[in-house]
Structure 1
Amino acid sequence: MNPAHQVVCGIVLSEQRVLLGHRSARKQWYPNVWDFPGGHVERGETPLAALQREMREELGIGVLHARPVREVALAEVHLTFWLVNRWEGTPTNLAPDEHDDLRWFALDDLRGLALADDFYPDLIAEALKLTLGGSCCGRD
């Protein structure tokens, strides 16, 4: 399978909360919903390098540790969701054209929230479970 677009998404976790960006109502794709920060893998770029670049560009953080959690293949896009549980810097909305808001959410806070996809709560719960047995999440 070689979809037209490869996309990486960062599940940034700290203290049992996930960082989500609210996509602007002006966005063509998935407007006015909460989504993970991330973006397209550029030609010649590995998915991990794309994740590191996107987290730097959108959030201003340097990824110190990330691991793939789930891949979803759709007709024209291949999504890879990465658990980001160690980074340097403070997440800040550096891409207001992408996200008009950036917030931390506990898993219970996701009920009733307009998310980019209905499977996000399960995906976040899976990522949170991965952190319980290992190192704590957060910045260095």
Structure 2
Amino acid sequence: MVKRGIFAPLLVVLLAFSVLAQSEKASDILPDYIEMDIRTSRLDELADWCRRLGLSDAGSRDELAGRLRDYFGIASSQVASDAQSARSITIESAQSTEYFTLETVNESYARLSGSVLITLMDGDTIHKLKAEEVLFNRTRNILNAKGSVE
């Protein structure tokens, strides 16, 4: 009877340690999963994620990713692909350009109109965009085109 009295509490303690050890392992893995989500998310997904957490959803992909890493206490990722660091937009032609800011949402824009031709470089990939008008949200890095878009 004495052996059973000692065995039951000992079993409970061992099970408790087992559960605690598993939960610690899960908490060690969680930042890796969050980092993987951050690295594989598109700009609009990162902006939505920031918005849901009450963070600013304005900025480039890198700025949003940094904001999320700060929020979750994850060290900044040193992994940056060459393709991401080699992105650029070149305005080849446009009859007029206009730069403005919408104060109510604190976003800056560039409007290009009249036979617009833009070259987008994404690493080794080149994209050409032709349109009558292009509106570029510089804060969110969103490009909208209309009128004879090619």
Relative to its length, the structure with more helix (as a share) is: 2
Structure having greater relative contact order (Cα 8 Å, sep ≥ 6): 1
Higher strand share: 1
Same topology, TM > 0.5: no
TM-score of the pair, normalised by structure 2: 0.22
